[in-house]
Amino acid sequence: MLQTAYKLIVKPKAFVWTTPELATSVYSNVPIPAFTNKDIIYMTPDLSAWKSLFMEQLEERDYPEIKAFYETISNNQVLAIAGYEMTHYSDLFLDEFDDDRNDGIWFEEGMCDYLSRKHLLGKQEFEEIADTGAAAMRLNTW
């Protein structure tokens, strides 16, 4: 679908499935275990690692609606993270990985997030994320 509808021409050379520890300490020092480095995507498929990472973002704040969402994320949502990384390879975006990436980066980030979730999640999961995002914005946590 990325090739036909979203101008994916050059695909990454590899998609490396790894542990959260290797993703954040060996392959990169970024604390998020999914990222693209040149022409390789590194990511952990470990659902429990993603749940822990999302829960840590709450920083012990009391947001029951957001906490409940993070506790119940599914493997489909981990798949959407992989789709997000792949969407960065689309030629629809003006910036490239080797550019300074300052003009269109936030548009690209938002579109990668939206497109991956819209096409890889079911309707209910997609709406739950939208509802949780709206709740977070009301709480001014994002």
Least reliable range by pLDDT among 24-28, 75-79, 135-139: 135-139
pLDDT of 94 higher than 80: no
Q: How far apart are CA 138 and CA 106, in angstroms?
A: 21
pLDDT above 70 coverage of the chain, percent: 91
Alpha-carbon span 136 to 142, nearest angstrom: 6
Tokens of 105: 């980066």
35-to-8, 81, 126 alpha-carbon distances in Å: 18, 10, 22
Q: Which domain holds residue 32?
A: 2-139
Please give the pLDDT value at position 77: 95
Q: Count up the domains in the chain and report the number.
A: 1
Model confidence over 34-50: pLDDT tens digits? 998 889 999 999 999 99
pTM of the predicted protein model? 0.86
Which has more confidence, 69 or 98? 69
Q: How far apart are CA 69 and CA 51, in angstroms?
A: 10
d(CA 13, CA 41): 8
